Every structure is written in C-alpha cells, then in structure tokens.
Amino acid sequence: MAFRSRRETLRSILSGSACIHPGSVYDAISIRIAEDLGFPLGMFGGSAASLAVLGDADVALITLTELAEQMRRMSRAATLPVLVDADHGYGNALNVRRTVQELETAGAAGLTIEDTLLPAAFGETKAQLISLEEGVGKMKAALDGRSDPSLVIMGRTGAASITSLDDAICRAQAYEAAGVDALFFTGIKSRAELDAIAAATRLPVVLGGAPEELNVLDYLAARRVRIALQGHAPIAAATQAVYDTLKALREGTSPKALKGLASAELTSRVMREADVKARSADVLGLKK
C-alpha cells in the first residue's frame, strides 16, 4: 500500500521510548519544508486547516471533503507522515467511519477523533462533551472504517479542562478498551495531572499543548508521551509575512527593496525544480 511506510513510521514513534515535537503543516509548501528540515512527523491541525482552506476561525466550518483534499495535496507533495486532526469526525459514528475512509485514502498516517460536541450547541458559550457512550461508539466506528491496519487511530478528549481530570481518565480508559492506538489529551495543566493519566492508562500519549513546566522531553517520555504539539506557529508566521509584504507594496515599497523574501535557491528547492528539470529532460527531450 502506497502510504503504509508513512503509517509505520508513525507507529514506530508511538512504540518508541522518546517524545518528539511534530512540525505543524497545512499545505504543499509547509510539508516540504518540514520534511527538508528533518521533522519526523507533520501535524495537520484543525485550526490551521480552517485558516489555510477557508480563512476562517476554528469553529467547525471546514468540511470533510475540504480537509481530505488538502491532506491529499500534502501527500502528493511530500512523504512526511502526517497526523490529522479530524475533529469530531464530521457527524455521528457513521460519519466518523467515512471520515476515516476518506483520510486514509488521502494519505494520512494517523488521525484523531475527539469527544467534543461540535458544532457548538445553540446558546452555549463553553465547550461541551458528547456522552461517554457516544464517544466509545465513535472510536469503534473509526476502527471499523480503516482498511489499512497500519493507519493510526487516536482517541482524543478535552475533558480535563471541560469537566474534570477524573472524567478525562475515565474516557481515556474506555477509548483504550475500545481498541484505539493512542490517547490524545488537551487541557492538561500540570505534572500531577499527567502523572495521574500515565498511571491510569497503558497506551502511548499525545499532548495537544501544555504549560511550560510540562515541556521537558525526558519527563514527557517517561510518562509515555510520544508526541507533544507546539501549536501552529508556521501558519501564523506565514500570515504575518504575507501581511507585511502586501502592506509594504501597498505603501509604495519597491519589490526590490522588500525584506524577508525566500531566496531563489530556497524557492527552487521547495518546488523541487531540479527533479522537474530531470524529468523534463527524460520525457520531453529538454536539456538539463
């Protein structure tokens, strides 16, 4: 299977003894840069997807089709394995099953399914969770939806910051029993909370952001944390760079006087120009 090696790489990270930081990716350029810089894994976050594809906030507006198509573009552009934030699976458990099928076909190495109630309920300003029973049903549907057993399915919960740590542990244990490959937590606030999670569960752990006291790789690795996210700074940096460049041009700056632009060498490398020229020579008879 074309994407199996990428999924096996992710599985080797989860079965290893170290904790790694993935590179936040959201399009063909960012994933190629992350791959060239040596990141072992890419993370395609929901907020980055919404901003890159729609220019909208992360409020469950992006569709499964749009997410999968963006993943497909990245899969074509690079071989870096990517973990995809699949939100709530775009509906009920049956929708989750289809979400897994689409993202598997699009080349994802793994994906997360969360138990947050999405879209937000009418009149509610705070995040809510679906029931434990529905969450377990979604995990079972996700596992049933994959045709490649090497595709990684992660059960994700934000219960620690929405209900309680005890609820987060209860949900994690239920998702673990359902058969997911790893557990993804958001909202963990302290070492004591992570210690409790590590003691109560068995699977590899992924953290979706954490306070500074937790950001020590050796400590995280000893608590079975294998992947620790660092937010989505690349798309924020790209947004600022585009804004600054367009603002300067609008205010009359000469293109030749612009600062911070990618060099011709970097642009050529990112677009794989040398590979294109070699193929053109081989199949079009053009000079290298």
Here the CATH number for the domain that contains residue 99 is 3.20.20.60
In this structure, the answer to whether residues 127 and 267 fall within a common structural domain is no
Closest CA to 166 of 146, 143, 192, 148: 192
In this structure, the answer to whether residues 197 and 73 fall within a common structural domain is yes
CA distance 81 to 71: 11
In this structure, the answer to whether residues 8 and 134 fall within a common structural domain is yes
In this structure, what are the phi and psi dihedrals at residue 226, rounded to the nearest 5 degrees?
Answer: -105, -20
| Structure-token match 């590179």, residue found | 23
In this structure, the answer to whether residues 38 and 163 fall within a common structural domain is yes
pLDDT of residue 173: 98
In this structure, the answer to whether residues 155 and 267 fall within a common structural domain is no
pLDDT of residue 286: 80
Closest CA to 105 of 146, 48, 153, 62: 146
Per-10-residue mean pLDDT for the chain, 288 residues long? Answer: 92 98 98 98 97 95 98 98 98 98 98 96 92 98 98 98 97 98 97 97 95 92 97 96 97 95 95 91 82
CA distance 83 to 43: 5
Q: Can you say which residues are annotated as belonging to the binding site? A: 47, 85, 156, 232
In this structure, the answer to whether residues 45 and 178 fall within a common structural domain is yes
pLDDT of residue 238: 97
In this structure, the answer to whether residues 43 and 183 fall within a common structural domain is yes
3-class DSSP assignment, residue 89: coil
What percentage of the chain carries pLDDT values higher than 70?
99
Residue 198 lies in domain: 4-232
Task: Count the domains in the chain.
Answer: 2
pLDDT of residue 288: 62
In this structure, the answer to whether residues 191 and 79 fall within a common structural domain is yes
13: CB partners within 8 A, 6+ apart:
20, 40, 41, 226, 227
In this structure, the answer to whether residues 137 and 213 fall within a common structural domain is yes
Name the token pair of 256.
């030749």
In this structure, the answer to whether residues 203 and 243 fall within a common structural domain is no
Q: Can you say which residues are annotated as belonging to the binding site for substrate? A: 47, 156, 232
3-class DSSP assignment, residue 251: coil
Question: pLDDT tens-digit profile of 189-203?
Answer: 999 999 999 999 999
**What pTM does this model have?**
0.95
pLDDT of residue 2: 82
Q: Kind and range of the H or E element at 111? A: strand 110-114
**Mean pLDDT score of the chain:** 96
In this structure, the answer to whether residues 15 and 104 fall within a common structural domain is yes
In this structure, the answer to whether residues 184 and 280 fall within a common structural domain is no
Name the token pair of 187.
């909202």
Q: Can you say which residues are annotated as belonging to the binding site for Mg(2+)? A: 85
Closest CA to 34 of 97, 98, 78, 92: 78
pLDDT of residue 125: 87
